[in-house]
Amino acid sequence: MLRIIAIDGPAASGKSSTAGLVAERLGWAHLDSGALYRALTLAALDNIGDAGRGTLKGMGREGWSGPRIVALAEQLPVRLVLLDDVFRPEVAGVDVEEAIRSDRVTRHVSGLAAIPEVRAWVNARQRMAVEGLEVGGGSGGVVVDGRDIGTVVFPEAPLKIFLTATADERARRRLSQRGQTVDGELVRRESQALAARDAADSNRPIAPLKPAPDAVLLDTTALTLEQQVARVVELARGRFPG
């Protein structure tokens, strides 16, 4: 069986950076499930959303309905493509790894991720991607990050990590990543935006953000990226010897 590490946690907790570096050090593949939700959001905004009603709230069943988004995803298609051990999101044959990080996508993604049909589609794609690795046999394992990887998508993963950090610390990291000044007022605003997205992701009825019962909780507030990566690699070496 393929070796899987599930890394979950709130927005800007460093999941994807940590997962990517851990995968690199272990020589494993990396799958960022949020990228698939973001690619679907980008596809929906560009193909269904109209400029005047650019918010999810304003769209009824005929707009951003689950079946319509899934049909669009199949038709374009929205896909994960494995390139050098990293699954990259693609829409209609175009790599969208950069485009999916825009504020416009970030503002709409939680709404889309709360739609049950969309989650079922994304989960199936993730499982297929990982099965493909197993069949191909090229990777020693895969590190998957998201919100529900340890609880819903791969509950059988032998190592599950739940990363946390205070909202203020996550806001500071996000601002400095973007090259913005980390001043008090900006931190406060960013921290509020993150907390709102966490609340939306944690309070939705389907697959809410929460640690799996057997997840290792890792509070990264006082850790550097290097320290958190080293800690996960150490746990991985213990759990997957050889």
Query: 189 or 237, CB closer to ligand DC?
Result: 189
What is the closest distance, in whole angstroms, from the C-beta atom of residue 185 to ligand DC in the complex?
Answer: 23
Assess whether the previous peptide bond of 77 is cis (omega < 30° from 0): yes
Query: 128 or 136, CB closer to ligand DC?
Result: 128
Q: Which residue has the tokens 């593949």?
A: 29
Query: 115 or 229, CB closer to ligand DC?
Result: 115
User: Within the chain, where are the H helices?
Assistant: 15-26, 33-47, 66-75, 103-113, 116-136, 167-177, 184-203, 225-239
Three-class DSSP category at 31: strand
Helix 33-47, helix 66-75: angle, nearest 10: 100
Residue 7 and residue 143 in contact, taking contact as beta carbons nearer than 8 Å: yes
- Closest-CA residue to 155 (of 193, 183, 181, 126): 126
Q: How far apart are CA 132 and CA 134, in angstroms?
A: 5
Query: 49 or 146, CB closer to ligand DC?
Result: 146
What is the closest distance, in whole angstroms, from the C-beta atom of residue 237 to ligand DC in the complex?
Answer: 25
Contact residues: ligand DC, CB under 6 A: 11, 33-34, 37-38, 109-110, 113, 146-149, 197, 201
Residue 77 and residue 140 in contact, taking contact as beta carbons nearer than 8 Å: no
What is the closest distance, in whole angstroms, from the C-beta atom of residue 93 to ligand DC in the complex?
Answer: 22
The structure tokens listed for 176 are 């400095």
What is the closest distance, in whole angstroms, from the C-beta atom of residue 241 to ligand DC in the complex?
Answer: 28
What is the closest distance, in whole angstroms, from the C-beta atom of residue 105 to ligand DC in the complex?
Answer: 8
What is the closest distance, in whole angstroms, from the C-beta atom of residue 145 to ligand DC in the complex?
Answer: 7
Query: 68 or 197, CB closer to ligand DC?
Result: 197
Query: 192 or 234, CB closer to ligand DC?
Result: 192
